[in-house]
Structure 1
Amino acid sequence: MRVRHYGLSAETAPIDFFADPDGDWSYEALLEAAGIHPESAPAGVLIGALGEPWRGHPEGAAVVSFAREGAPRLCIVECPMDRRSPRAA
């Protein structure tokens, strides 16, 4: 997984929160990539996919949007495509 963190709000990126990210991922793996413990995830965490390429990340890359210490955060996760895992909800 390639992971990149940005101190930006979700409005700054072309995110589709109704789309499933491409690649092999689970809800827990995306939270952990964002630095969030799955069992203590704060309210307001949103997961979506990039609707078009953005800042060198491909369309379909996973996006985790959340706030940390009151500041907006985006975590872009490029998931491997070589295998599929069940998605946890």
Structure 2
Amino acid sequence: MRVRHYGLSAEAAPIDFFADPDGDWSYEALLEAAGIHPESAPNGVMIGALGEPWRGHPEGAAVVSFARDGVPRLCIVQCPAGRRSPRAA
């Protein structure tokens, strides 16, 4: 996985929160890539996909949007190609 963190809010990127990211991923793996422990994820974490290329990341890359210490954060995760894993319940 290629991971990049930005100190930006979700409004700064073309994110589709109704789309599933491309590639092989799980909800837990995306949280961990963002530096969030899955069992202690803060309220307000949202996962979506880029709706178009952005800052060198391809359309469909995973986006984890959250706040850390009150500061908005975006984590873009380019997952390896393959079968998409379902989100954990």
TM-score normalised by length of structure 1: 0.95
Question: What is the alpha-carbon distance in structure 2 between the residues aligned to residue 6 and residue 35 of structure 1?
Answer: 12
Give the percent of matched residue pairs that are identical in Structure 1 and Structure 2: 91
Q: Report the equivalent of 2:46.
A: 46
Deviations 1:3-59 (A, max 9, x none): 000000000000000000000000000000000000000000000000000000000
> How many residues were matched structurally?
89
Deviation at 1:70, TM superposition (A): 0.4
Contiguous gaps of at least 5 residues in structure 2: none
Q: Say if 2:22 and 2:84, in contact at 8 Å, map to a contact too.
A: no
Deviation at 1:87, TM superposition (A): 3.0
Query: After TM superposition, what 4+ stretches of structure 1 lie above 2 angstroms from structure 2?
Result: 82-87
TM-score normalised by length of structure 2: 0.95
